[in-house]
């Protein structure tokens, strides 16, 4: 142990582990983006269901968001992963397709999307409620059907209110991808651990992985700030606490 950090271990080509880390990072990005997108879709549907749905739909959605927010993500990920893959392979076996193996990426996106969806539902519900009701009423008075009102008026008008929450959710999504290391999907955290285990340079690889996550967070922060400023243009500042 003459030097604390042997940076040649981070070289792109083997024997360096740079490539492994970057591939892991790319997997993390795919997971986060896919899960986030799925979560936003679930969130918009869930918010619409909670606000405009029937009593049963509302209560079911309430149960969904409550359970997701009360149970640790790690447990949910394990449960969804096993239940999801088990159910799917059983279903395809019953239909005569034989066993299907869901790859880790798809399963991971599903799992993160389901977790994100619960939080997104709350974000969008709050944002939609912040839209002045007269605007939605006006659209209805024009004779627009529900979906059209949603697309033309409600969704664009709620965007500025939803963006801070959406930015927050994206940060949570990027960090939640690390949990998939526990079920053996080789995203950035697990890649760093494998590299560290092989070279015994634990500090170096975990710090490098941390720097990659941090860079992602900081860059996303800047982008979200820009988008938010653009979405809020023309809006009277409501953030007078």
Partner 1 sequence: MAELDTLSSPGRRPALGPIRLSAVLAQPHRIVMLLVALVGLVLIIRLMDWAWLPGYLPKLGEGLMMTLAMLVSSVFFGFLIALPLGLVQVGGAWPFRWLATGFCTIIRGTPLLLQMWLFYYGLGAVFAQFPEIRGSWAWDYLRQAWPYGFVALTLSFAAYEGEVMRGAFAGVPRGELEAAEAFGMSRWQIFRRIWFPRAVHRALPTLTGEIILQLKSTPLVATIAVTDLYAVITQVRQATYLTYEPLLFLVAVYLCLSAVLILTLRWVENRVPTER
Q: Closest approach of Cβ 150 to partner 1, in Å?
A: 21
Site string for partner 1, 199-218 (x = CB under 8 A): -x-xx--xx-xx--xx--xx
Q: Cβ of 118: how many Cβ atoms within 10 Å?
A: 20
Q: Closest approach of Cβ 80 to partner 1, in Å?
A: 10
Residues 26-55 that bind partner 1 (CB under 8 A): 55
Range 146-162 burial, b when 16+ CB lie within 10 A, else e: eeebbeebbbebbbbbb
- Which region among 37-45, 66-74, 140-148, 150-158 touches partner 1 (by CB under 8 A)? 66-74
Answer for which of 19, 193, 194, 227 binds partner 1 (CB under 8 A) is 193
User: Which H or E run contains 47?
Assistant: helix 18-52
User: Which H or E run contains 156?
Assistant: helix 155-176
- Which region among 6-14, 64-72, 143-151, 154-162 touches partner 1 (by CB under 8 A)? 64-72
86 in contact with partner 1 (CB under 8 A): yes
Q: Using the minimum distance from each CB to partner 1, give the nearer residue, 105 or 171.
A: 171
- Angle, helices 188-199 vs 202-231, to 10°: value is 160
171 in contact with partner 1 (CB under 8 A): yes
Pinpoint the alpha helices (H) of the chain.
18-52, 55-70, 73-94, 104-130, 133-141, 146-149, 155-176, 188-199, 202-231
What backbone phi and psi angles, to 5 degrees, belong to 26?
-60, -40
Q: Using the minimum distance from each CB to partner 1, give the nearer residue, 139 or 192.
A: 192
Number of H helices, E strands in the chain: 9, 0
Answer for which of 11, 83, 223, 235 binds partner 1 (CB under 8 A) is 83
Q: CA-CA distance, 161 to 174, in Å (whole number)?
A: 22
Q: Using the minimum distance from each CB to partner 1, give the nearer residue, 159 or 178.
A: 178
- Which region among 19-27, 68-76, 131-139, 147-155 touches partner 1 (by CB under 8 A)? 68-76
CA proximity to 74, closest of 127, 131, 17, 115: 115
| DSSP state, residue 178 | G
Q: Tokens 């269901």 identify what position?
A: 49
116 in contact with partner 1 (CB under 8 A): no
Binding-site ranges for partner 1 (CB under 8 A) = 1, 55-56, 59-60, 62-63, 65-67, 69-75, 78-79, 82-83, 86, 119, 122, 126, 171, 175-179, 181-182, 189, 192-193, 196, 200, 202-203, 206-207, 209-210, 213-214, 217-218, 241
């Amino acid at each position: 142990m003459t030097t604390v950090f042997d940076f040649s271990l981070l070289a792109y080509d083997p024997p360096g582990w740079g490539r492994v880390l970057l591939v892991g990072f790319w997997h993390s990005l795919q997971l986060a983006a896919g899960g986030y997108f799925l979560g936003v879709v679930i969130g918009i549907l869930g918010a619409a269901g909670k606000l405009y749905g029937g009593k049963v739909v509302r209560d079911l959605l309430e149960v969904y968001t409550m359970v997701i927010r009360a149970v640790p993500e790690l447990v949910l990920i394990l449960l969804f992963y096993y239940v999801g893959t088990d159910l799917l392979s059983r279903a395809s076996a019953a239909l005569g397709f034989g066993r299907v193996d869901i790859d880790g990426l798809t399963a991971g996106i599903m799992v993160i999307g389901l977790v994100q969806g619960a939080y997104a539902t709350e974000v969008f519900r709050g944002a939609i409620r912040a839209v002045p009701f007269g605007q939605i009423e006006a659209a209805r008075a024009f004779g627009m059907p529900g979906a059209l009102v949603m697309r033309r008026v409600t969704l664009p008008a709620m965007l500025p209110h939803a963006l801070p929450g959406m930015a927050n959710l994206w940060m949570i999504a990027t960090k939640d991808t690390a949990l998939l290391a526990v079920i053996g999907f080789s995203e950035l955290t697990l890649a760093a651990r494998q590299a560290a285990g092989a070279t015994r340079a634990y500090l170096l690889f975990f710090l490098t992985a941390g720097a990659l996550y941090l860079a992602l967070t900081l860059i996303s922060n800047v982008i979200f700030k820009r988008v938010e400023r653009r979405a809020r243009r023309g809006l009277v500042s409501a953030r007078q606490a």
